[in-house]
Amino acid sequence: MRYLVGIPYVNRIDLLYRAIHSIPAYWPNTVVLDNSPSRELRQAHWLTQAVTVVEPTVPLTFVQSMNAFQRMAEERGAEAVFYMHNDAEAHPGTPEQFLHVLSQLKASGKKWGLALTNFDALAAYNMEAVRTAGPWDTVFSSYFADIDYHRRLRLAGYEEVFTGLPVDHHGSSTRKSDSKVNFIVDVTWPLYERYYELKWGGKMAQETYLTPFNRPV
């Protein structure tokens, strides 16, 4: 299977090191986006020897990063675009098993859109589904964006596959490690939550609209 693995990075290079070294099978197809304010990955020579590091003109939000990974995957003719948290760590054997599961899905002809391990600590999106659903909504910055995108995939008729493969996740380390990021998340959380409600006619699991803002198809 042709695939691209995307990891957006903001902080905690120690956890990024553990994430990268847990997926050696993916290294030739892995892209790390350096969204750190000080461009600290410029000095991470161990990283550039293993994977591709891309430094955008300005640091990207999570949503902008996901759209960038989609474009890169499309340009490379990939069949799937992976997303891995920079603070996730795959157990030995998980990367290879995950590829095996995706190959089986492809062979089965199942209409899958998203394959998960420990939720989206390591996840894969079917590029066919991506082309149908379109890019991520850039009104969001990070939180609620995944809920929005996954709902759009389901409404487009694509299934979620829960593999249960073991991947550790040091949750929310990006915001916990930077008081400024944490402050911004706390302040904007209710704004993005309200936007999601307006877009889908209710909170998560209480949505009433089948199209964004209840617009006709």
Q: Render pLDDT for 51-99 as a digit per residue (tens, 0 to 9).
A: 999 999 999 999 999 999 999 999 999 999 999 999 999 999 999 999 9
Q: Distance between CA atoms of 151 and 158, rounded to whole angstroms? A: 10
How high is the pLDDT of residue 175? 86
Residues 6 or more apart from 79 whose CB is under 8 A from it?
Answer: 1, 2, 3, 106, 126, 127, 128
Cα separation values, 169 from 142, 166, 195, 200, Å: 17, 10, 27, 29
**Sign of the dihedral through C-alpha 172, 112, 130, 204:** negative
How high is the pLDDT of residue 171? 81
Collect the ranges in the chain with pLDDT lower than 70.
none
The model's pTM: 0.95
Residue at token pair 């993916």 = 26
DSSP string, 30-95: EEEEE--TT-GGGG-HHHHTTSEEE--SSPPPHHHHHHHHHHHHHHTT-SEEEEE-TTEEEPTTHH
Q: Within 10 Å of residue 33's Cβ, how many Cβ atoms? A: 26
How high is the pLDDT of residue 91? 98
How high is the pLDDT of residue 173? 83
